[in-house]
Structure 1
Amino acid sequence: MQNETTKIALLVAVSTLVFLMMPVFLILYIRSYNRHKKNHFLEKQHMQQKFESEMLQTRIEVQDQTMQSIATELHDNVGQLLSLTTLTLNSINLNDGEKAKNKIDNSLTLVSNSIKELRELAKLLHGEQLVENGIGHAIDQEINWLNKAGTYQLKVNNQLVDLQITSPDKDLIILRLLQEIINNIIKHAQAKYIQIDSYLDNGALHLKVSEDGIGFDPDMIKAKKSGMGLNSIYKRIEMINGKLALNSVPGEGTSISIEIPYP
């Protein structure tokens, strides 16, 4: 009988203790949950700030690249056209009517071409041919600038020109990736031939750039953690959950394939 009483008393004591401890555990659980929730919010906020900072940096770099293209075009093309116009006009001999007329006609053609080029540059300044018109048009713009240099044999298959969907943030990053890849080719590759392919397939945007330059050892570049802006390229691709495949062999050129969920 005494053992039964002891067991009942012990059961009551344990039950009471459990009952009293439940609010404590509940309070601790709520505090832990709120702390994790706050940390998650702060982490998410930090990631958002980091993304916005990277987007701002990307936007500045794209604008800087555009301004460099404009400066080059003004110097190499428009400046040359206007210089030729000046030389032609200064060489006019009014006593020779027929030659004077031909030179005036040539000057008018040069001025007309200069105006056409300046209008194209004005569109760039107003951003009309950046990502506002879609990534396909932005890629075309970069290829046109590359083509004007006349240094490379280009083969282009851009299937994104008539793309109806857009993703402004991703478009900006994709444009900057292409700019960085082209800059690397110009600075390091010593290439003569460049092929650029872009298309949309199964909800992913694909961009592939191949060239026949001197190539390099990708493992060595990764080990150095520096060369050719590859770190920046990898970083930006990670921002938009993309994938990059890089193939290069010394003496045999390089190809870079990018796959990005789109939009």
Structure 2
Amino acid sequence: MQNETTKIALLVAIATLIFLLVPVFLILYIRSYNRHKKNHFLEKQNMQQKFESEMLQTRVEVQDQTMQSIATELHDNVGQLLSLTTLTLNSVNVNDEEKARKKIDNSLALVNKSIKELRELAKLLHGEQLVESGIGHAIDQEINWLNKAGTYELKVNNHLVDLQITSPDKDLIILRLLQEIINNIIKHAQAKQIHIDTYLEKNKLHLKVADNGIGFDPNEMKMKKSGMGLNSIYKRIEMINGKLVLNSAPGEGTSISIEIPYP
């Protein structure tokens, strides 16, 4: 009988202990869950802030690149055209009607060309609107700008011009990536030829840029960490869940292939 009483008391004690511990574990679980939930929310909030900060920086860089292009064009092209117009008009001899007419006609042609160039500059001033109208058009504008320099032999296959879908944030980053790659070619590659291919395949946007320049050792650049802005390029591609394949070697040129989920 005493054993039975002992067993019952033990069962009651165990049951009581379980009854007391269950709420404790439940409270601890709820607190742990809320803590993880809060940390997850803060992490998402932090990621969103970083993304917004990066987007702001990208917009500033695109605008800065646009302003540099406009300044160069005003100085090297429009400025020269207007100076030549002034010289031509100043040399007009009203007493020689035939030569005067020719010089005035030449001056009008120069003025019309200047107006055309200024219209192109006006398009650049609306760079973000250009991106919003489609990444294909934005890439076209950048390529046209590169082509105007007359320094490179360009081979371009841009299959994004008629793209019906857009992703403004990604488009802005893609445009900036192209600008950075082209700037690297201009500053470092000593290239004569540039090939640019863009297309959309299976919900992935592909951007490929290759040059026949002096090339470099990618492993060496990674060790330097700051070489040629590659860190910035990799960071932006990672931000939009993209992939980058870089192939280069000294004396063998460089090719960069970017793949980005799109839109």
TM-score (norm 1): 0.98
1:135 and 1:226 map into 2 onto residues whose CA distance is 28
Shift in Å, 1:130:
2.9
Task: Identify the residue that residue 206 of structure 2 maps to in structure 1.
Answer: 206
1:1-263 counterparts in 2 under 5 A?
Answer: 1-127=1-127, 130-263=130-263
The residue identity in structure 1 corresponding to 2:59 is R
Contact 1:184 1:228 survives alignment (8 Å): yes
Instruction: Detail structure 1 runs of 4+ shifted over 2 Å in the superposition.
Output: 126-130
TM-score (norm 2): 0.98
The residue identity in structure 1 corresponding to 2:23 is P
Shift in Å, 1:121:
1.0
1:125 and 1:83 map into 2 onto residues whose CA distance is 23
Contact 1:123 1:129 survives alignment (8 Å): no
Query: SS state of the match for residue 161, structure 1?
Result: coil
User: What 5-or-longer segments of structure 1 have no aligned partner?
Assistant: none
Deviations 1:90-114 (A, max 9, x none): 1101111011001101101110111
Contact 1:129 1:137 survives alignment (8 Å): no
Query: SS state of the match for residue 161, structure 2?
Result: coil
Contact 1:135 1:175 survives alignment (8 Å): yes
Q: How many residues are aligned here?
A: 263
RMSD (Å) for aligned C-alpha atoms:
0.9
Instruction: State percent identity of aligned pairs.
Output: 87
Shift in Å, 1:24:
1.3
Shift in Å, 1:123:
2.1
Q: Which moved more, 1:124-133 or 1:220-229?
A: 124-133
Deviations 1:201-244 (A, max 9, x none): 01000000000000000001001111000000000000000000
2:202 and 2:128 map into 1 onto residues whose CA distance is 29
Query: SS state of the match for residue 166, structure 1?
Result: coil
Shift in Å, 1:73:
0.7
Query: SS state of the match for residue 162, structure 1?
Result: coil
